Amino acid sequence: QDGTLLGRIRAIRRQFATEMGIIVPPIHIRDNLNLNPAQYRLMIKGVEAAGSELMVNHYLAMDPGGAAQEIQGIETVEPAFNLPALWIPVDREEEAKFAGYTVVDNSTVIATHLTEIIRANAHDLL
């Protein structure tokens, strides 16, 4: 990515320390040639806690309920909360937002997933 993910990870660690008193150990990002190019895994103490797959040049669009109109995209599941979602090309972001969808980029998808995995596994980090 363009570096925004690293900043988000720092912010997530700081947030857990400030709000919950949990010092999240350093988070390492490694390229794993055994994974598909757009796939990622979140590991805790060497054990896979979660993972998913992203789409390059696409955003994730989710209908929070009551979207004004339906949009077209590639059906998927948002990984942090297992909600129905669509992959849409980046040039359709405004269209999706105008229709009432919540639209996020790939670094936000990973950061949200990471936050929820840390929250669910906080006891293992203490």
Domain boundaries, the chain: 4-125
- Residue 1 confidence (pLDDT) above 60: no
Please report the pLDDT score of residue 15 as a whole number: 96
Query: What do you get for the CA distance between the two ends of the chain, in Å?
Result: 30
pLDDT digits (tens, 9 = 90+) for 80-101: 999 999 999 999 999 999 999 9
Domain 4-125 carries which CATH code? 3.40.30.60
pTM of the predicted protein model: 0.91
Contact (Cβ atoms closer than 8 angstroms) between residue 71 and residue 89: no
